[in-house]
């Protein structure tokens, strides 16, 4: 796409006010697709996120023989005749790290040789710890390119019973992938992990969904889960909850503009770790109020500085960094070294783009120190990273002359983001008139 055609100029607004419908959770939709593929009967997934990443997972499952019919936000999934169709052509996963990690576990329960590949950036994202954890269970992984990254070839004759240990300090998805796959092994599997686990709340989501669809497991030690296997998984119907990550951009917009925004459908009992971003905003002075099917965020007159460990919600770091740029004092964000192997090196990307606007930013190996405010607008590079694009779009509501290059990258997780932002600004103009 032409660079100018893919650039968005963000209009400033004095105060955002309105209601925003957010799409289904990306994390839940990915896991629902994987679980449905393992079922022996038809499954229905409602309020699914229809976005680039979830379509990548669905298409890979089709290539493996799973029958998938997508109707709006409803997906019907029928099991493959056998596990799985093995093709000499790689499963192309673009830059979806979630797809890669969850699909490696799913492929391991089949029989055959499976090749995974993706974009230039995916080829820089390591999966060595997951490969190491699959080996004791009888799965061979051969890396065909650079270091311990895709392209890779996975060879399996089914997942064996036994015990394995995973280092999930880079990604909780290594652990989630193993736990789901272990239910389909030839016998019981003991899954152990090392501390720390990056983004533990995502493992909680995985375990909750396993329970919801009828799969069994037991915590036998603080860092070990025993999974009986093989387990039969029957058909299920599952409704995907609204995505807190997508909602966070509108929470931040309200925080920056003394706004009043309701996002829905969301509920206070959500297991998504990113919903805890509301607690951070509350500590900065925002007023948070849960309603029947959503949450209202009202921004303060002045934002208080914070010093936050963001290990459990790393995807919120770009959004928090933008809010911190307008706080009354210096802020620090820490314990997120694993952000350097996301869709971009998110710590470096956030620091570089904030500095471009005149914000003081100091980088650490695992975090940032930020002191604003921005001194000027400018063209923001997104590094083909959806979260950089959406976070800096929020900043543009306060900083004249902010433009987002590579605006279409939001399609990875929130294709309707620009339309939702436009609609909120329209509501705001009417409310503020």
**Confidence class for position 388, pLDDT limits 50, 70, 90:** very high
Q: Is the pLDDT at 2 greater than 60, yes or no? A: no
Sheet containing strand 402-405, edge to edge, reads 7-9, 402-405, 378-380
Q: How many CB atoms lie within 10 A of CB 124?
A: 16
Report the Cα–Cα distance between both ends of the chain, in Å, rounded: 37
- Binding-site entries for 3-phosphoshikimate: 26-27, 31, 171-173, 199, 315, 342
Looking at the chain, the whole-number percentage of residues with pLDDT higher than 90 is: 95
User: Taking all residues of the chain, what is their mean pLDDT, rounded to a whole number?
Assistant: 96
The tens digit of pLDDT for each residue in 268-324 reads 999 899 999 999 999 999 999 999 889 999 999 999 999 999 999 999 999 999 999
Looking at beta carbons, which pairs linking 86-91 to residues 24 or more positions away fall under 8 Å?
Answer: 86/110, 86/111, 86/112, 86/113, 86/114, 87/63, 87/114, 87/115, 88/115, 89/115, 90/115, 90/116, 90/117, 90/151, 91/60, 91/63, 91/64, 91/115, 91/116, 91/117
Q: What is the pLDDT of residue 196?
A: 93
- Binding-site entries: 26-27, 31, 97, 125, 171-173, 199, 315, 342, 346, 387, 412
CB neighbours of 387 closer than 8 A, spacing ≥ 6?
245, 315, 318, 319, 342, 343, 346, 413
**Confidence class for position 350, pLDDT limits 50, 70, 90:** very high
Catalytic residue among 315, 328, 345, 385: 315
Topology agreement, domain 7-23+242-432 and domain 26-239? yes
CB neighbours of 362 closer than 8 A, spacing ≥ 6?
368, 369
- Domain range list for the chain: 7-23+242-432, 26-239
The arithmetic mean of pLDDT across residues 363-389, rounded, is 97
The arithmetic mean of pLDDT across residues 55-78, rounded, is 97
The tens digit of pLDDT for each residue in 242-281 reads 999 999 999 999 999 999 999 999 999 998 999 999 999 9
The arithmetic mean of pLDDT across residues 344-360, rounded, is 97
Q: How far is CA 260 from CA 288, 408, 427, in A?
A: 10, 27, 11
Say which CATH superfamily domain 7-23+242-432 falls into: Enolpyruvate transferase domain (3.65.10.10)
* Region 26-239: CATH code: 3.65.10.10
Q: What is the pLDDT of residue 3?
A: 62
- Binding-site entries for phosphoenolpyruvate: 26, 97, 125, 173, 346, 387, 412
Looking at the chain, the whole-number percentage of residues with pLDDT higher than 70 is: 99
Annotated active-site residue 345? The verdict is no
Q: Is the pLDDT at 383 greater than 80, yes or no? A: yes
The tens digit of pLDDT for each residue in 83-136 reads 999 888 899 999 999 999 999 999 999 999 999 999 999 999 999 999 999 999
């Amino acid at each position: 796409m032409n660079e100018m055609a893919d650039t968005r100029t963000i209009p400033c607004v004095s105060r955002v006010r309105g209601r925003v419908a957010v799409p289904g959770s990306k994390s839940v939709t990915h896991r629902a697709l994987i679980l449905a593929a393992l079922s022996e009967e038809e499954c229905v997934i409602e309020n699914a996120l229809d976005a680039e990443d979830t379509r990548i997972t669905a298409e890979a499952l089709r290539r493996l023989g799973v029958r998938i019919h997508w109707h709006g936000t409803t997906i019907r999934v029928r099991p493959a005749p056998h596990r799985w169709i093995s093709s000499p052509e790689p499963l192309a996963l673009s830059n979806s790290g979630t797809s890669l990690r969850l699909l490696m576990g799913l492929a391991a329960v089949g029989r055959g040789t499976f090749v995974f590949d993706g974009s230039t950036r995916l080829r820089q994202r390591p999966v060595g710890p997951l490969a190491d954890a699959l080996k004791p269970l009888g799965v061979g992984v051969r890396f065909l390119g650079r270091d311990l990254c895709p392209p890779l070839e996975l060879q399996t004759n089914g997942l064996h019973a036994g015990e394995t240990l995973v280092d999930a300090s880079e990604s909780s998805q290594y652990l989630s992938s193993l736990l789901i796959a272990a239910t389909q092994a030839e016998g019981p599997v003991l899954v152990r992990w090392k501390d720390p686990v990056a983004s533990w709340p995502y493992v909680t989501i995985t375990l909750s969904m396993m329970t919801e669809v009828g799969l069994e497991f037991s915590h036998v030690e603080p860092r070990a889960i025993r999974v009986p296997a093989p387990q039969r998984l029957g058909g299920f119907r599952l409704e995907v909850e609204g995505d807190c990550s997508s909602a966070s951009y509108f929470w931040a917009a309200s925080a920056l503009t003394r706004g009043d925004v309701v996002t829905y459908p969301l509920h206070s009992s959500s297991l998504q770790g990113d919903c805890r971003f509301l607690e951070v905003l509350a500590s900065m002075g925002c007023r948070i109020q849960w309603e029947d099917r959503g949450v209202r965020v009202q921004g303060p007159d002045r934002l208080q500085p914070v010093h936050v460990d963001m290990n459990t919600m790393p995807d919120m770091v770009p959004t928090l960094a933008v809010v911190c740029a307008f706080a009354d004092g210096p802020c620090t964000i820490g314990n997120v070294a694993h952000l350097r192997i996301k869709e971009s090196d998110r710590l470096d990307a956030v620091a570089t783009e904030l500095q471009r606007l005149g914000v003081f930013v100091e980088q650490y190996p695992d975090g940032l120190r930020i002191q604003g405010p921005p001194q000027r607008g400018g063209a923001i590079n997104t590094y083909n990273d959806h979260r950089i694009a959406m976070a800096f779009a929020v900043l543009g509501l306060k900083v004249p002359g902010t433009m987002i290059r590579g605006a279409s990258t939001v399609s990875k997780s929130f294709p309707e983001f620009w339309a939702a932002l436009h609609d909120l600004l329209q509501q705001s103009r009417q409310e503020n008139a």
